[in-house]
């Protein structure tokens, strides 16, 4: 009977991981749907860029986040002339799946299995940097490979 429970729990874990991975993904359309009022106020060219998941110099932080999602990392930069800017770093996320098994002993002997999936950024997979000053994109840096 315990073996059946382990299989059942493992099956549930696989389904939960797949479901969570699907829910965690954010698309331009899902971000537009969540911010429909703001999106409707943007000029047609800006709306087109957002739908395509692209940004342009002059975009506000809100527009950039609607187009690309939240950055994987944010940095703050201070220039010699005391100007400050914010740097948003985006990564190419790749799902990673790992499987593990543990066997324990003690009062009860048993085993368990687990599967995990993550879409954590891989620092070697940086794809884009946005430079923002006063809440607007002033420069876009892309990584060419």
Q: How far is CA 144 from CA 64, 73, 125, in A?
A: 20, 19, 11
Tens-digit pLDDT profile for residues 111-137:
555 666 555 555 568 899 999 999 999
Tens-digit pLDDT profile for residues 50-76:
999 999 999 999 999 999 999 999 999
For position 125, what pLDDT does the model report? 83
pLDDT of 29 above 70: yes
Q: CA-based angle 126:129:131, to the nearest 5?
A: 165
For position 23, what pLDDT does the model report? 45
Q: Which residues constitute the domain of residue 99?
A: 2-142
Confidence class for position 143, pLDDT limits 50, 70, 90:
confident
DSSP 72: S
For position 116, what pLDDT does the model report? 61
What does pTM read for this prediction? Answer: 0.65
Q: What are phi and psi of 43, to 5 degrees?
A: -65, 155
Structural domains of the chain, count: 1
């Amino acid at each position: 009977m315990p073996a059946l429970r382990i299989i059942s729990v493992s099956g549930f874990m696989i389904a939960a991981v797949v479901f969570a991975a699907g829910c965690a993904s954010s698309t331009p359309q899902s971000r537009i749907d969540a911010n429909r009022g703001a999106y409707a106020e943007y000029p047609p060219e800006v709306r087109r860029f957002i739908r395509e998941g692209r940004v342009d110099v002059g975009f506000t932080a809100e527009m950039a986040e609607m187009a690309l999602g939240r950055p994987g990392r944010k940095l703050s930069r201070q220039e010699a002339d005391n100007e400050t800017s914010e740097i948003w770093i985006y990564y190419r996320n790749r799902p990673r799946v790992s499987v593990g098994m543990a066997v324990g002993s003690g009062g009860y002997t048993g085993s368990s299995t687990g599967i995990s999936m993550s879409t954590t950024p891989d620092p070697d997979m940086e794809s884009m940097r946005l430079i923002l000053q006063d809440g607007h994109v002033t420069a876009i840096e892309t990584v060419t490979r």
